[in-house]
Amino acid sequence: MKTSELLSIINQHVPFASAESWDNVGLLIGDTNQEVNGILTALDCTFDVVDEAIEKNINTIIAHHPLIFKGVKNINEGGYGTIIRRLIQNNIQLIALHTNLDVYQYGVNAMLSKRIGIKNAEILEPQTESYYKVQVFIPEENVVEFKDKMNDQGFASEGDYEYCFFSTKGDGQFKPVDGANPHIGQLNEIETVEEVKVEFMIQNNERAKAEYFINALHPYETPVYDFIPLTKSLNRGLGMIGDLPEQTTLKALASAIKTQLDIPSVRFTGNPNALISKAAVIGGSGIGYEQYAHQKGADVFITGDIKHHDALDAEIDGYHLIDINHYSEYVMRDGLKALLEQWLEGKVDNIEASHLNTDPFNYV
């Protein structure tokens, strides 16, 4: 399969547009027309990971952390330039799935919560989407033509469905006065018309276009319509929250997580003997959500990169924290491999997870 098809399939499940605005996801190095002969999943695209792809004759790396992120001013030998040059010299592509994989309902945080053993897990902070419900009042005889033309313009689509309208019949009344040029009725006389209220949904960015076509396609000189702003929760968002298999102490949970994630260091704040039944987790750097997690009923908030003063503030406020460090996100390597095998349905024969340790820290 070509890279363009791979990107399209990934986008269907983990939309690139769902990444944070500051992030850098998608095809960072490569060619959309290139044939994908294999995929290597990795947390970080390091020099050693590139060598691993070369040794395994794999021409596409999908990493969680973007290699090109802070702004590259040159691609010379040394630092990140060495990695980028090696990728290009060996015709290896690099795709980044970062915050869009974080908010995916089966993404990094779901993988972490599953490894930790959290049950009945649900998204901690679901993302919401703003949209409009449109109501247009139109003579019954013009309804079908209006719907057909609005559908032709791409409106009233929901996911894999088109022509998503709802109609309600009723009586419309109006009186044309001097200066009017009515489609139906006489000047200075009250007219009653069998009308239909046509309803459909549009995205926020479609409002101006929808208003233009309603006015252009409606038979009335002065159409009547409403745009009603609404929001809905999506099946994606930040973090996961759920129940532990059984109540345990904070210290025992921290020790168990160290074993479950097979990481060399775990820190925690709070009373070691505090009883924990419900946990929330955000991989990477999730500090700032500890109060929100507590309000949602979590007895402990699990994340990485916790600074001294953040830990002290949490302890003073009575929030329990467990620091699993940033590298704990390595669980995405096997997790993403399994997802890709499911999504691609055999279109790429060789999909492997890198097991190189890219943690920049050494522990004593």
Q: What is the pLDDT of residue 188?
A: 84
Q: pLDDT of 290-305, one tens digit each?
A: 999 999 999 999 999 9
Q: Is a pLDDT exceeding 80 seen at residue 27? A: yes
Label residue 3 by pLDDT band (50, 70, 90).
very high
Q: pLDDT of 126-164, one tens digit each?
A: 999 999 999 999 999 999 999 999 999 999 998 889 999
DSSP of 338-353 = HHHHHHHTTSSS-EEE
pTM for the full predicted model: 0.84
Q: What is the pLDDT of residue 160?
A: 85
- In the numeric block, which tokens belong to residue 191? 């007219």
**What percentage of residues in the chain have a pLDDT greater than 70?**
100
Q: What is the pLDDT of residue 43?
A: 98
Label residue 182 by pLDDT band (50, 70, 90).
confident
DSSP one-letter code for 87: H
Q: Which domains does the chain have, with CATH numbers?
A: 3-100+330-353 (3.40.1390.30), 108-126+237-326 (3.40.1390.30), 128-233 (3.30.70.120)
Please name every residue paired with 201 in a beta bridge, in sequence order, or none if there are none: 133
Average pLDDT, the chain: 95
Q: What is the pLDDT of residue 192?
A: 86
Q: What is the pLDDT of residue 198?
A: 97
Give the mean pLDDT of 228-244: 96
Q: Is 182 exposed, middle or buried (0-12, 13-18, 19+ CB in 10 A)?
A: middle
- Look at the block and give the residue holding tokens 């290139």: 34
Can you say how many angstroms the Cα of residue 225 is from the centroid of all Cα atoms in its chain?
Answer: 33
* Cβ-proximal residues to 62 (8 Å cutoff; 6+ apart), any chain: 39, 40, 41, 42, 95, 96, 97, 336, 340
Q: pLDDT of 61-75, one tens digit each?
A: 999 999 998 777 889
Q: What is the pLDDT of residue 176?
A: 86
DSSP of 105-173 = TTSHHHHHHHHHT-EEEEEEEEEEEEEEEEEEEEEGGGHHHHHHHHHHTT-S-BTTB----EEEEEEEE
- In the numeric block, which tokens belong to residue 33? 């027309």
The DSSP bridge pattern shows strands 60-63 and 93-96 to be parallel
Q: What is the pLDDT of residue 249?
A: 98
Q: pLDDT of 338-352, one tens digit each?
A: 999 999 999 999 999
Q: Is a pLDDT exceeding 80 seen at residue 183? A: no
Distance between CA 110 and CA 102 in Å, rounded? 9
Q: Is a pLDDT exceeding 80 seen at residue 106? A: yes
Label residue 217 by pLDDT band (50, 70, 90).
very high
